[in-house]
């Protein structure tokens, strides 16, 4: 069995090389093992994918359930696993630091803290407070006995504030506060991504799967992107196929979708062993 310290060193080293790597997002043990079997080098949780699989909305699951989910994934695969830790599950820097320590206890070797408040009237934390939260999380991560990669997330583009200048400034401040990786989900063009990359000196994670964004791994690597994730993308692909088959059965009374790209139980079992 690969130890947590070994996973931490591996995950840290992935960010230190020039070659881009993909960190896809499973939502349960089965999909985590499938992705490991395919050959990916690391995995990340998806807060939305996991929440929807529980019949809940994103950001409505709670820290205890999220960390239990993370523990299940880290126990199921020998790959490094990073977690979407949402806003740290609380407003204060102290809660963010505690969340990092609890995440480490769940077997994780990385995690992200975002600046989305979860409140509809004031969706993004004030910058100084957001920086304090990242700083506290970074201090907690650095105090662990193994490498823990902290990602600082600027959520403007996902919450009605597509202000690239402010987003870049936030990422720069999160870098200064101690974030190891920087992430602004919702960027949609090469030009936006390039401006972010040119403005910081930490590895940058880019989200693929957003509407209108069709860049390849090769194109992103050429820009200088270090890490690519897909958020809830794989979950949404799987459930689009599920609904397509269900609607065909209900509306047409036929079963054609059940024979398209269908895997046998034996084939699936090979991935899970």
210 and 260 part of one domain:
no
| CATH of residue 18 | 3.20.20.60
271 and 172 part of one domain:
no
54 and 86 part of one domain:
yes
140 and 111 part of one domain:
yes
Q: How many domains does the chain have?
A: 2
- DSSP-based three-state secondary structure for 45: coil
238 and 181 part of one domain:
no
139 and 55 part of one domain:
yes
For 192, list phi and psi in degrees, rounded to 5.
-65, -45
27 and 119 part of one domain:
yes
Q: What domain range includes position 240?
A: 233-273
44 and 152 part of one domain:
yes
- C-beta neighbour count of 20 within 10 angstroms: 19
Would you write out the chain's pLDDT as a tens digit for each of its 273 residues? 899 999 999 999 999 998 999 999 999 999 999 999 999 999 999 999 999 999 999 989 999 999 999 999 999 999 999 999 999 999 999 999 999 999 999 999 999 999 999 999 999 999 999 999 999 999 999 999 999 999 999 999 999 999 999 999 999 999 999 999 999 999 989 999 999 999 999 999 999 998 888 999 999 999 999 999 999 999 999 999 999 999 999 999 999 999 887 788 888 888 877
Cα–Cα dist 70/81, whole Å: 8
273 and 183 part of one domain:
no
User: Please, where are the H alpha helices in 143-258?
Assistant: 164-177, 190-199, 217-223, 233-247
Cα–Cα dist 139/141, whole Å: 5
Cα–Cα dist 71/106, whole Å: 5
104 and 9 part of one domain:
yes
113 and 166 part of one domain:
yes
Query: Is pTM, for the whole model, over 0.95?
Result: yes
For residues 45 and 230, the answer to whether their CB atoms sit within 8 Å is no
136 and 239 part of one domain:
no
Closest CA to 193 of 181, 205, 202: 205
């Amino acid at each position: 069995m690969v130890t947590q310290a070994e996973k931490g060193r591996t995950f840290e080293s992935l960010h230190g090389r020039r070659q881009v790597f993909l960190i896809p997002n499973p939502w349960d043990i089965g999909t985590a093992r499938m992705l490991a079997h395919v050959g990916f080098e690391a995995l990340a949780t998806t807060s939305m994918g996991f929440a929807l699989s529980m019949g809940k909305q994103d950001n409505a699951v709670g820290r205890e359930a999220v960390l239990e989910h993370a523990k299940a994934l880290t126990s199921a695969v020998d790959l490094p696993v990073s977690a979407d830790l949402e806003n740290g599950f609380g407003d204060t820097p102290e809660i963010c630091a505690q969340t990092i320590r609890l995440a480490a206890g769940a077997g994780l070797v990385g995690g992200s803290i975002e600046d989305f408040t979860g409140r509809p009237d004031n969706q993004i934390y004030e910058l100084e407070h957001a920086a304090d939260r990242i700083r506290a999380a970074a201090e907690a991560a650095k105090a662990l006995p193994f490498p823990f990669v902290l990602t600082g997330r600027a959520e403007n583009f996902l919450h009605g504030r597509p202000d690239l200048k402010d987003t870049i400034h936030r990422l720069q401040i999160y870098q200064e506060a101690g974030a190891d990786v920087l992430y602004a989900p919702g960027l949609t063009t090469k030009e936006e991504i390039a401006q972010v990359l040119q403005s910081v000196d930490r590895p940058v994670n880019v989200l693929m799967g957003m509407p209108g964004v069709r860049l390849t791994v090769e194109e992103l690597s050429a820009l200088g992107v270090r890490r690519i994730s897909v958020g809830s993308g794989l979950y949404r692909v799987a459930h689009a196929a599920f609904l397509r088959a269900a609607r065909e059965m209900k509306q047409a009374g036929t079963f054609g979708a059940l024979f398209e790209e269908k895997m046998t139980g034996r084939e699936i079992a090979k991935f899970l062993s």
